[in-house]
Amino acid sequence: QVQVQESGGDLVQAGGSLRLSCIASGLTFDDYAWGWFRQAPGAEREGVSCISWTDDSPYYLDSVKGRFTISRDNAKNTLYLQMNSLKPEDTGMYYCATAISPHYTGDCRPLPSPSWGQGTRVTVSS
């Protein structure tokens, strides 16, 4: 059974930084592309950043380019999202999931029916 567990969310002031982590189990982590997805209050879930098996050319949502960095540690089955210069519009629940490699789509989409975790809440105050 595939399980993912996100952590690292917090309440932070605008301009601050957070590092999100996602630990996965029940699958061969490095067989998959992975992504971070967020859902703001009253909005649909959107792809923030996705990374392929080979770590090259990750995808970033335009609004986070230059501020967020996605990375993966295959030895630890862990996905990370370093978030700097946070803005109030970054507020939301952040989820990680297996993804379609951004090489194929040019954007960040989850695989069909991925296993979603509980998410981790990021709140950025102005």
Give the pair of three-digit tokens for residue 126: 């102005």
User: pLDDT tens digits for 95-111?
Assistant: 999 999 888 888 999 99
pLDDT of amino acid 101: 87
Residue 78 C-alpha from the chain's centroid: 11
How does DSSP classify residue 104? H
pLDDT of amino acid 84: 98
pLDDT of amino acid 37: 98
